[in-house]
Amino acid sequence: MIATRFAIAGNVPIFDIDIPVGQLYFPDWTRYESAVKDIFDRRYYTNQGPLAQELESRLQQMLGVKHVICVVNATVGLMMAAEALELKGKVILPSFTFLASAQSLSWTGLQPVFCDVASNTHHIDVSKAKQMITKDVSAIMAVNLWGGAADITALEQLVQETGIKLYFDSAHAFGCEVNGQKVGCFGSLEVMSFHATKMLSATEGGCICTNDDDLAAKLRNIRSSYGAGHTVSVVKTSNGRMSELQAAIALLNLDDFEINRANNEATFLAYQKHLAGIPGLKLISPSGVSRSNYQYIVCEVNTEQFGVTRQQLLSILKAENINARRYFYPGVHRSVEFNSLYNKQKNALTITELLCETCIQLPVGALLDIDKVEVICNLIRSAQRNSAKLLHYLDSDS
């Protein structure tokens, strides 16, 4: 059935409560309550306690990586990574990412150099990155997006040829695989996010994965002296510790990870089926992976073919209590923090600019029943068919 009565035109919204956009999976309260009681009984709340240790060893096993260093969030994890890798000067990264990727560099005294992404994958364009390598560049930070991965083979070959370092912002990629190998094993290290809107939630949290013993020892010392094992010489230390309360949630959610991944996959397939053939709407499939976590449902909107702008479509959805969003907007190079730097760099970011103007993220995750996907898609299909009439109810710049 195609919806024809739109809330933007004054009708009752399709959904009576907000459908959020992110994962937001949390364990059953009684399981968490019992875990919290154990923490209180032990009277050991943080500083690399037993649950943080258990989480690290379970993640090491699951990801097949030698070292997992859990941290308070991925932003701090990325800052610790830049410090441990002893990076200098400039680091190449895509601008089509969350602000935190670049902020981790400015906080560690490094200069981001913004590279464009490939239009078919949304990931860093390796041939363009190659052209940007100068003697001041010490590393490439590739970002794995949408439950997909960058072209890891090409990146590894490039850093082998040039001798610079490679590491990954894998905030979106927990549980994904590339050629059957879990994300977490690539480059010098990878950083994952366990934010509430991510695939594995600890409310806030993250981890750094590496197979390099020396790097792991440095990272543990940078995180703090607690649980660092043998001390090694590092210039700066910090507090990047994960508390026991965070680790308890992550452990419980880890038990349910495969169910959640399968739900996300079914959700993606439902979107794929019900969005098929809508003019001007392109659903992005996770690229570069042999297994995805389907953490994000991302579409590109072509205004000419769809009939309303990306922003107008978001307003139509919002009126129905569907929280879709622009993602990422603006590009990091257009943010207040990095705009003047970018104006000096002047690298062409043509694809990034286009994607920042055209991408939307649709709801997925624990708070979305799969049968609602068809309703959302029918609404979008109907919005396209009725776009000319709907323009009457929409601000031109909304």
Binding residues (CB under 6 A) for ligand T4K: these are 20-22, 24, 73-75, 97-98, 100-101, 143, 169, 171-172, 193, 195-197, 206, 323
Indicate the residue among 69 and 100 with the shorter CB distance to ligand T4K.
100
CB 171 within 8 A of CB 192: yes
Could you give the CA distance from residue 124 to residue 138 in angstroms, rounded to a whole number? 17
Q: Which two tokens stand for residue 393?
A: 């109810």
Closest approach of Cβ 97 to ligand T4K, in Å? 5
Cβ at position 209, least distance to ligand T4K in Å: 14
Residue number with CB closer to ligand T4K (22 or 27): 22
User: Shortest gap between Cβ of 174 and ligand T4K (angstroms)?
Assistant: 11
State how far the Cα of 53 lies from the Cα of 59, in Å rounded to an integer.
10
Does residue 330 have a cis bond before it (omega within 30 degrees)? yes
Half-sphere exposure of 92 (CA within 13 A, CB side): 28
Structure tokens at 107: 């906080």
Give whichever of 20 and 89 is closer to ligand T4K, judged by the CB atom: 20
C-beta of 55 vs 217, nearer to ligand T4K = 55
Q: Are 65 and 182 in contact (CB under 8 A)?
A: yes
Least Å distance, CB 73 to ligand T4K, is: 4
Between 197 and 237, whose beta carbon lies closer to ligand T4K? 197
Smallest gap from residue 109 Cβ to ligand T4K (A): 19
Note if the bond before 194 is cis, omega within 30 degrees: no
Tokens of 110: 């490094």
SS3 299: strand
Specify the residue, 102 or 217, whose C-beta has the smaller distance to ligand T4K: 102
Q: Provide the token pair at 101.
A: 């990727």
Nearest distance, CB of residue 123 and ligand T4K, angstroms: 11
Residue 173, classed as helix, strand or coil, is coil
